[in-house]
């Protein structure tokens, strides 16, 4: 498992871990599913027997094996006071246009084009 985090996110998570002396790992978990797909969250916990563990920038991350098998690696970003937890397979590259909507520089009411 790989977890991608930026400096701001790393510092925030590291500070939260320092406040939880009895638990020292960050769990990625599925919080639910909405019309856009799965919603993931974070919690500070200890390892269980069904977990896969990875260390990214000195922070240990956990995820249940079944969730990892379904969604793969993750990106975590600090957004305001919370986190956006996204499977890397679903992270959109906003520097390139995807197919089917006309190409860069186009926008319309349906949201096609580069953002």
Domains and CATH numbers, the chain: 3-90 (2.60.300.12)
Answer whether residue 59 shows pLDDT above 80. yes
Token pair belonging to 3: 């977890």
pLDDT of 94 reads: 47
pLDDT of 41 reads: 97
How does residue 36 score in pLDDT terms, banded at 50, 70 and 90? confident
Average pLDDT over residues 36-57: 93
Q: Regarding predicted confidence, which is higher, 100 or 44?
A: 44
How does residue 88 score in pLDDT terms, banded at 50, 70 and 90? very high
Answer whether residue 52 shows pLDDT above 70. yes
**Helix (H) or strand (E) run with residue 32 in it:** strand 25-34
């Amino acid at each position: 498992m790989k977890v991608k985090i930026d400096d701001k996110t790393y510092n925030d998570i590291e500070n939260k871990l320092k406040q939880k002396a009895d638990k020292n790992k960050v769990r990625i978990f599925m919080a639910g599913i909405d019309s856009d797909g799965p919603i993931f969250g974070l919690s500070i916990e200890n390892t269980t027997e069904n977990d896969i563990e990875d260390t990214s920038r000195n922070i240990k991350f956990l995820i249940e094996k079944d969730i990892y098998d379904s969604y793969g690696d993750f990106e975590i970003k600090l957004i305001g006071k919370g986190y956006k937890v996204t499977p890397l397979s679903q992270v959109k590259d906003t520097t390139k246009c995807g197919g089917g909507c006309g190409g860069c520089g186009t926008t319309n009411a349906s949201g096609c084009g580069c953002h």
